[in-house]
Amino acid sequence: MQKLKGPGGAITILAIESSCDETSCAICRDGVILSNIIAGQAVHEQYGGVVPELASRAHMQNIVPVVDAALKKAGCDQSALTAIAFTQSPGLIGSLLVGAQFAKSLALALDIPLLAVHHMQAHVLANLIPTDRPAFPFLCLTVSGGHTQIVLCQSPLQMEVIGETLDDAAGEAFDKSAKLLGLPYPGGPLIDKYAREGNPDRYSFPEPQIPGLNFSFSGLKTAILYFLQEQTGKNPDFIQKNLPDICASIQGRIISILLNKLKKAAKETGVRDLCIAGGVSANSGLRNTFRQLGQQQGWQTFIPPFEYCTDNAAMIAITGYYKYLAGQTAVLSVSATARAEW
Ligand code: KG4
Ligand code: ZN
């Protein structure tokens, strides 16, 4: 029979995240993160994007040292673990399978429960890691490389997507714009860096008129492409000479698209506790503008610390913790899936 609690009644979760190009392992005890180790994969830079086959190979190389390092940093022995959580979906299937197989094997070897976690739900719950937490119900703008969603969260495991992108994600809008500017992958953090020195009002890009709470970024990408073609046609050094202003103007438009919809969602739902999450929530312009907007609107605003914004296992651990408390354990035959509804 599986034991249901660790020594002293503590609930200690080991969590694994491997949905894309970060191999991560975290240890969480009674909802408090003790360690969160993240190994990135520089191998993709030269290809201008994540190469799925190379990502799964790198996960296989990284996973054992990353898990060992997380246990060591937490001062935790495998025998103290209560359950193993892992990212089940969505993501690159080869990458997910490495984490899933490792998690299943460890749960089987230690004879403890397995917890299957949805990656996007975990991004939202990264907001429950710090001690200063939003009250339920709250709204979360989740912005990553693959998703852009507004989520209405009623309790840790009760969430509803009330708005999402119809085409590109906000992270893709950053990364594809960066590519057009000749910047390396992933370009989001570089646009953020150059934008700090630039004037966001110098160039004007259109805001799409999408009904309801949904988003669209494909028109913005096309507008940027035509704008750059026209300007470099006139002056081949245009990008080099105006990079900070171009980056600030692109970033400013992406932020206004995101926050105008969030404002609309807050108005429609009447919810006053608002969060942001996902890789793009590491963007300094979005963080500052979100806080300023919150002050203007009388919202309580919450932003996870940087290490919990981009992909990390701490958010998988906290979600696993709530799933464990709710008795939502997974069977060992559970499989990873590239796409999954909530
Ligand atoms: O959540 P995440 O780490 O992975 C996915 O689940 O997709 O998000 C990655 C995305 C990438 O598109 C990356 O360019 C973007 O987050 N990103 C940023 C910044 N840091 C990461 N975008 C803009 N500014 C940043 N500082
Ligand atoms: Zn993510």
The pick from 144, 176, 183, 185 for probing ligand 1's pocket by mutation, whose C-beta has the most ligand atoms within 8 angstroms, reads 144
Rounded Cα distance, 237 and 305, in Å: 38
Same domain? For 90 and 165 the reply is no
Please state, as a whole number, how many other Cβ atoms lie within 10 Å of the Cβ of residue 126.
Answer: 28
Same domain? For 190 and 212 the reply is yes
Residue 163: both structure tokens together = 């708005």
User: Is residue 336 a part of any domain in this protein?
Assistant: no
- Going by CA atoms, what residue is nearest to atom 8 of ligand 1? 279
Same domain? For 264 and 167 the reply is yes
Same domain? For 121 and 64 the reply is yes
User: Is residue 337 a part of any domain in this protein?
Assistant: no
In the chain, what percentage of residues exceed pLDDT 90?
93
Pocket lined around ligand 1, Cβ cut-off 6 Å: 20, 144-146, 171, 174-175, 186, 188-189, 192, 278-280, 282-283, 310-311
User: Is residue 342 a part of any domain in this protein?
Assistant: no
The whole-model pTM stands at: 0.94
Cα(146) to centroid(ligand 1), Å: 9
Cα(172) to centroid(ligand 1), Å: 8
Same domain? For 179 and 314 the reply is no
Q: What pLDDT is recorded for position 185?
A: 87
Q: What is the pLDDT of residues 98-138, one digit of tens each?
A: 999 999 999 999 999 999 999 999 999 999 999 999 999 99
Cα(41) to centroid(ligand 1), Å: 14
User: Is residue 1 a part of any domain in this protein?
Assistant: no
CATH number of the domain enclosing 139: 3.30.420.40
For the chain, how many structural domains are there in total?
2
Q: What pLDDT is recorded for position 8?
A: 63
User: Is residue 166 a part of any domain in this protein?
Assistant: yes
Residues 6+ positions from 137 with CB-CB distance below 8 Å: 152, 153, 154, 269, 271, 273
Same domain? For 192 and 145 the reply is yes
- Going by CA atoms, what residue is nearest to atom 14 of ligand 1? 188
Rounded Cα distance, 286 and 12, in Å: 34
Same domain? For 119 and 142 the reply is no
The pick from 143, 280, 284, 312 for probing ligand 1's pocket by mutation, whose C-beta has the most ligand atoms within 8 angstroms, reads 280
Is the predicted pLDDT of residue 7 greater than 70, yes or no?
no
User: Is residue 156 a part of any domain in this protein?
Assistant: yes
Cα(72) to centroid(ligand 1), Å: 28
User: Is residue 104 a part of any domain in this protein?
Assistant: yes
Is the predicted pLDDT of residue 6 greater than 80, yes or no?
no
Query: Is 192 in a helix, a strand, or coil?
Result: helix
Q: Which domain holds residue 268?
A: 133-303
Same domain? For 103 and 149 the reply is no
Same domain? For 108 and 170 the reply is no
> In the sheet where 273-277 sits, what is the strand order?
158-164, 148-155, 138-143, 273-277, 300-302
Cα(145) to centroid(ligand 2), Å: 7
Same domain? For 162 and 285 the reply is yes
Same domain? For 61 and 171 the reply is no
Same domain? For 198 and 87 the reply is no
Q: What pLDDT is recorded for position 69?
A: 98
